[in-house]
Structure 1
Amino acid sequence: MYSHWARFAVFVFCLTAPLSIAIAESDTGKNNPANLVGHGGPIKAIAISGDGKTVLTGSFDYSAILWQLDNTTTNKLARRYSEHEGAINTVTFIGQNSRFLSAGDDGGVYLWDRASDNLLMQFKGHQAKVLSLAVSDDGKLAASASWDRTVRLWDLDNLKPLAILKGHKGPVNAVLISGAGQQVYSGSYDGSIIKWSVKTGRQERPLYLHGWGINVMKWLPGKQQILFGTVNGDVQIFDLKADSIAKVLIPHQRPVLALAVSGDGKFLASGGGDGLIRVWNTADWSVVEELNLSFGPVWSMVFSADNKKIYYTGLDDYAVAWKISPRKIGQEVQGKFPRRFQKLQNMSLGERQFARKCSICHTLKAGDQNRAGPSLFKIFGRPAGTLKGYKYSPGLLKSKIVWNEKTIDQLFAIGPQHVTPGSKMPLQKISEKNKRQALIRFLKANTQ
């Protein structure tokens, strides 16, 4: 049912950008103390607390991380949360930042308590990945947007599900809640922004119909204007009172994947599959900064509390702190290209299978950190679920499998859902026997 949208997502993930404005070529990102380094895979989501002292990130490595910001020297990894069973696509703080939400490919909406570091609730109900979360100003209501074409509402006080908002004809990519908490606004791949009543759980009316899919939405201060980005690269502002488009900004050449609005509303930024970040001054709508990452895409970004930095995320395993005021040309960084999971022309058949199927989740060598999955160092002969330091799913902890040529071949021949049911492994197969054998040869040569 969702194969079309899945193909689109993979297409965007592998985009490269055209001509650059400020090109970042060095691989110094992990050595910059201002960057947020600690994830084992590309970071898909980022949010900043209301006081500007804490950042929350969510990654393809299935984990969320809280960071304590130090504006003078380094940023500190404060806590890692690894209970997700899929990539994390969206995170948001709640109220006075004592709680937060995360959601992603496993379809669950996770509610966390910062004081105890406990998972308070995993809300279930979505039948596909969740792309966006919103919370009411009073912290009592949450909304989640999913590729199952619905928005679901959640009671954060009583920890129970509320209405299911149905009406979109395509995956729902973005959701917002009004200032008073009485309306919900959702944006979909079907090109529409719909207004919903929280009280009735019903559609009030289609607010706006764009010719292309809506990818992302943000409130401007006052919550009377919606900033949105689209599949064809448009960046526009819809005014609720005027019931019309109030501003059309310079479009991107490829899909807009990220938007950010500074806390005081003086600046906004757009980021796309073209790798371009564009920063606007909302007083006169002038472009004050542009950065082209050259290898794209930009998944998410936030302004620092003082508007001097933008923390952005892309294909690297860390979030980059881009200093925009005062701008220092050449200080932007980006990791090596192509990334480990992107195709290289000089790869052997086995290495190519590893890059495509395994590398985003697994490492190979002794001392390598775990990613979404455990390190594969000395995988042959290892009983499943036994590597120290990795939090396995119940399915693998109960498994009696010992990894060898036969069991690894079976894993990719019939799929993890049959070999390791209940595990966090992505549902993927390698149908061609020669490719499976090549992968096994590569693993044996590189994991001992």
Structure 2
Amino acid sequence: MRLAALSLAAALACVLPAKGQDMIGHGGPVGALDLGADVLLSGGFDTRAILWDRDNATARNITRFHEGNVTAVALLEQGQFATAGQDGRIAIWNEEGRAPVFATDAGISAVASLAVSDDGAFIAAGFWDGRVQVLELGRAELTEQTAHSDRVTGLGFLPSGDLVTVGGDLRLARWGRNMELQARIDLPDLPNGLAITQGRIAVIFADGALRLFSDMGDLLPERFLTDRPLVALAATNADVAAGAIDGTVWLLTGADLSQRQMFAAAQGPVWALALDGQQVFTSGNDGAIRRWSLADGRALGGAPAEVAQEYTDDSRGAEIWQSCAVCHSLSPDDHRRAGPSLHGIFGTPIASQTGYDYSSALRDLDIVWTKRTVAELFEYGPEAYTPGSRMPEQRIGDSADRQALVEFLDRAAQ
């Protein structure tokens, strides 16, 4: 029996057209975004990077390569993209690739951020131990430099090709093509991110300020936006977006940081931002990527928090299901999420739902989904029970909770 929708808003969320929807698919916080002409790339705490069709809000490619969080992402030329992670690795992918075409070895420190040069020839990675690596993409050659005595909290390429970095040592540094130091200045507070706008350096700080610096580090306009730490930043030549730990987003002009709009994007932190001339994309703890109007800060997509409560019967199993609903639907026609629909799952072989591109490893498994096998999946975890799955690693330790979930699915997924 299909259960009633929790509210009219939740019901409407199920039938909204895909175009303009928010993007629902990660199984946890999303901390990295990059925006292209027709795609958006996201990286999450669920170890996955997702390449989205930005208009239809559908996943073109879902990768799971890194051990731990995907901490940074970047779109490259010729349809390629880059991911970096908690494992210290940088991976280069083709748009439809299931494995990277190039990857660095696992490192001793997590990657904090990525940046691509304007000519597309270089990609730079900043690490938590203060190192910076610059990869020349055409030759797959790495240059490494210890840039800061504490973690690198942001980096970006100037139009000249020089690299700018900021770090937990409260310093900003400019580096030449061969990573020779050009300039270094002290900063007034802890920097939490960096972006380039109109050839100048925008930096967000833990004291709630957004400051502009010249390409040589001279302080230009600064704006104290909040008394909360700013934790996310994105910029184009015309606009700058900054996000705070409390979910507030400010839209400002790139020229003088005059405020255009301010809106509440989430009930928790905004961990990542991306923007173009018309839209702003935000991500936070709930695994959803929301879109907003750059002109007036108006929400443009559906409401992911309501979609996650599409089905409920106020049981313990329904409560546990809310975490599953970030990636899965119980509707047979909902293919917008990162995982397959679970409608009619019991009695079907693994990797057999229509409308979803399963991994080859999953197709080779001999499992039929029953109450017992679904409970075992969450007892042992996807890594052990369904190796090769793109499902983020998660377990339900309490046997009563596992039973409550499968009983809910037995009622709701028919």
Where does residue 16 of structure 1 map in the other structure? none
Greater CA drift, 387-396 or 117-126: 117-126
The answer on whether the counterparts of 1:175 and 1:185 sit within 8 Å (CA) in structure 2 is yes
2:342 alignment partner, one of 376, 393, 396: 376
The answer on whether the counterparts of 1:182 and 1:199 sit within 8 Å (CA) in structure 2 is no
The answer on whether the counterparts of 1:260 and 1:301 sit within 8 Å (CA) in structure 2 is yes
> Matched residues in 2 for 1:373 and 1:78: separation?
11
Instruction: Provide closer, same or farther for how the CA distance between residues 92 and 420 of structure 1 changes in structure 2, counting only shifts above 3 A.
Output: same
> Matched residues in 2 for 1:78 and 1:410: separation?
30
Within 5 Å, give how 1:265-304 maps onto structure 2. Answer: 265=238, 267-293=239-265, 295=267, 297-298=269-270, 299-304=272-277
Amino acid in the other structure paired with 2:274: M
- Deviation string for 1:267-306 (max 9, x for gaps)? 42322333322233455543233233464554313131xx
Instruction: Provide closer, same or farther for how the CA distance between residues 129 and 434 of structure 1 changes in structure 2, counting only shifts above 3 A.
Output: farther
Where does residue 123 of structure 1 map in the other structure? 103
> Matched residues in 1 for 2:227 and 2:307: separation?
26
Instruction: Provide closer, same or farther for how the CA distance between residues 345 and 228 of structure 1 changes in structure 2, counting only shifts above 3 A.
Output: farther
1:227 Cα shift? Answer: 1.2
Where does residue 210 of structure 2 map in the other structure? 235
Where does residue 409 of structure 1 map in the other structure? 375
Amino acid in the other structure paired with 2:195: K
Within 5 Å, give how 1:94-105 maps onto structure 2. Answer: 94=76, 97-103=77-83
The answer on whether the counterparts of 1:316 and 1:335 sit within 8 Å (CA) in structure 2 is no
1:338 Cα shift? Answer: 4.2
Amino acid in the other structure paired with 1:216: G
Q: Give the alignment's TM-score, normalised by structure 1.
A: 0.69
Where does residue 393 of structure 2 map in the other structure? 427
The answer on whether the counterparts of 2:351 and 2:362 sit within 8 Å (CA) in structure 1 is yes
The question of 1:58 aligning with 2:49 is answered no
Instruction: Provide closer, same or farther for how the CA distance between residues 246 and 29 of structure 1 changes in structure 2, counting only shifts above 3 A.
Output: farther
Instruction: Provide closer, same or farther for how the CA distance between residues 173 and 441 of structure 1 changes in structure 2, counting only shifts above 3 A.
Output: farther
1:113 Cα shift? Answer: 5.7
Question: Please, what is the CA RMSD of the aligned residues?
Answer: 4.3
> Matched residues in 2 for 1:209 and 1:371: separation?
42
Where does residue 260 of structure 1 map in the other structure? 234
- Deviation string for 1:144-165 (max 9, x for gaps)? 345687544322112x251355
Instruction: Provide closer, same or farther for how the CA distance between residues 32 and 210 of structure 1 changes in structure 2, counting only shifts above 3 A.
Output: farther
1:216 Cα shift? Answer: 2.3
- Deviation string for 1:108-133 (max 9, x for gaps)? 6454567x999872424355875532
The answer on whether the counterparts of 1:414 and 1:429 sit within 8 Å (CA) in structure 2 is yes
> Matched residues in 1 for 2:210 and 2:265: separation?
19
Within 5 Å, give how 1:349-360 maps onto structure 2. Answer: 349-356=316-323, 358-360=324-326
> Matched residues in 1 for 2:134 and 2:264: separation?
37
Give the paired residue count.
390
> Matched residues in 2 for 1:29 and 1:245: separation?
49
Amino acid in the other structure paired with 2:334: D
Within 5 Å, give how 1:125-274 maps onto structure 2. Answer: 125-126=105-106, 132-145=113-126, 151-158=132-139, 160-165=140-145, 172-183=152-163, 185-187=165-167, 193=172, 199=178, 207-208=185-186, 211-212=189-190, 214-222=191-199, 225-231=200-206, 233-241=208-216, 243=217, 245-263=219-237, 265=238, 267-274=239-246
The alignment partner of 1:63 has SS state of strand
Where does residue 444 of structure 1 map in the other structure? 410
> Matched residues in 1 for 2:106 and 2:381: separation?
23
> Matched residues in 1 for 2:329 and 2:65: separation?
18
1:418 Cα shift? Answer: 1.9
Greater CA drift, 248-257 or 77-86: 77-86
- Runs of 5+ consecutive residues of structure 1 not aligned to the other structure: 1-26, 68-74
The question of 1:35 aligning with 2:15 is answered no
The alignment partner of 1:421 has SS state of coil
Q: Give the alignment's TM-score, normalised by structure 2.
A: 0.74
> Matched residues in 2 for 1:311 and 1:30: separation?
23
- Runs of 5+ consecutive residues of structure 2 not aligned to the other structure: 1-11
> Matched residues in 1 for 2:305 and 2:98: separation?
38
> Matched residues in 2 for 1:203 and 1:346: separation?
61
Instruction: Provide closer, same or farther for how the CA distance between residues 378 and 187 of structure 1 changes in structure 2, counting only shifts above 3 A.
Output: farther
The answer on whether the counterparts of 1:133 and 1:144 sit within 8 Å (CA) in structure 2 is yes
Amino acid in the other structure paired with 1:275: G
1:359 Cα shift? Answer: 2.1
